[in-house]
Amino acid sequence: TDALGYAGMIPNVVVKIPLITTSGSPNIEVIDTLVKEGIDINCTALMSVSQVILATQLGVRYVSIFAGRIDDEGGDYYRVIRDCVDFLDDDDGGTELIVGSIRTIGNVLDAVRARAHIVTVTPAILDKMVMHRYSLETVRQFEEASKSLPK
């Protein structure tokens, strides 16, 4: 009911709902009802290709897998991302893959290489992506060299 209320108040809202509840019960009926009401759903907390396939069959707009958590359990998150993207691209239902739980720049690069549609990162990871010591050294050299130019 909260999802219906928010969707009615906010244009272009996407409601984030996990595939399973905290007790482990499926949220399939809730997701199906909201999709039939025309509400865009981000089915979240997914860890496997089979979960992504199931959520996609419900007609959700986005599916979110958690790369870092898959990796924590010894899973091959790159392969999971790749398999999900391959399935979604072949399915042609318009569902997009969001990759979250990014913990390193390497996770970002892997997600991009695996052709993830969307990758979410924290500000700390974004800062690390921007900064490179040689970039900083180079722009400082540029600035120093510009001081010797005629004014």
Q: What is the DSSP string of the chain?
A: -HHHHHHHHSTT-EEEEESB-TTS-B-HHHHHHHHHTT-EEEEEEE-SHHHHHHHHHTT-SEEEEEHHHHHHTT--HHHHHHHHHHHHHHH-S--EEEEE---SHHHHHHHHHTT-SEE---HHHHHHHH--HHHHHHHHHHHHHHTTS--
Q: What residues act catalytically? A: 16
What per-residue confidence (pLDDT) applies to 7? 67
What per-residue confidence (pLDDT) applies to 118? 98
- The domains located in the chain, with CATH, are 2-126 (3.20.20.70)
Max intra-chain CA distance, the chain: 72
Each residue of 117-128: pLDDT tens digit?
999 999 999 999
From the number of C-beta atoms within 10 Å of its C-beta (0-12, 13-18, 19+), residue 45 rates as middle
What per-residue confidence (pLDDT) applies to 11? 78
Lowest mean pLDDT among 93-102, 107-116, 142-151: 142-151
Query: What pTM was computed for the model?
Result: 0.86
